[in-house]
Structure 1
Amino acid sequence: MIVTMRHVRTIPYFRARPGFCLPKTRTWFGEHGLDFAAFIREGLDEAVLLATGDGMAEALVRWAHECEAANGQ
């Protein structure tokens, strides 16, 4: 599954408003050697996010699956 900015902007549970903080998301991508600009344009395969072993990445992948299931995909 491809995780996209839509998922980053709508994930619940982590703040009063949905979505991850974009500046910190950009920093997170850099810390993990991932291209944030490419992610914005194309999304990123869930396997790449899961390979980081990061709990926030795992939560984002779960959210992406929930979104797609709700959309019947």
Structure 2
Amino acid sequence: MAHLRSVPGFGPKPGFCATGSRAFFARYGLDWTAFIKDGIDEEALLGTGDALAIALVEHARSCEQ
């Protein structure tokens, strides 16, 4: 969740909004509640092929280096 709220470059403030993120999870059949509780494997996000998901994974990777 920290990475989702801090990913840069998609608006005037960093991060993705919760409403849009919930819609994203629903669109791709991902479990929002499980994500909030336990996070999500990057493969699940990358598997969507969605540019925003890819940017989020790249951001998370850069934060963990």
- Give the paired residue count: 65
CA RMSD of aligned residues (A): 0.5
More strand by share: 1
Residues in 1 aligned to 2:51 and 2:6: alpha-carbon distance in whole angstroms: 17
Structure 1 unaligned runs (5+)?
Answer: none
Which residue in 2 is equivalent to 1:44? 40
TM-score when scaled to structure 1? 0.86
- The CA deviation at 1:21 is 1.2
**What does residue 9 of structure 2 align with?**
13
Larger radius of gyration: 1
Query: Structure 2, unaligned stretches of length 5 or more?
Result: none
Which structure would you say has the larger RCO, counting Cα contacts within 8 Å and 6 or more residues apart? 1
Counterpart CA distance in 2 for 1:14 and 1:21 is 10
Aligned equivalents of 2:33, 2:14: Cα separation in 1? 21
Percent identity of the aligned residues?
A: 49
What letter corresponds to residue 49 of structure 2 in structure 1? G
Relative to the length of structure 2, the TM-score reads 0.97
1:68 equivalent in alignment to 2:38: no
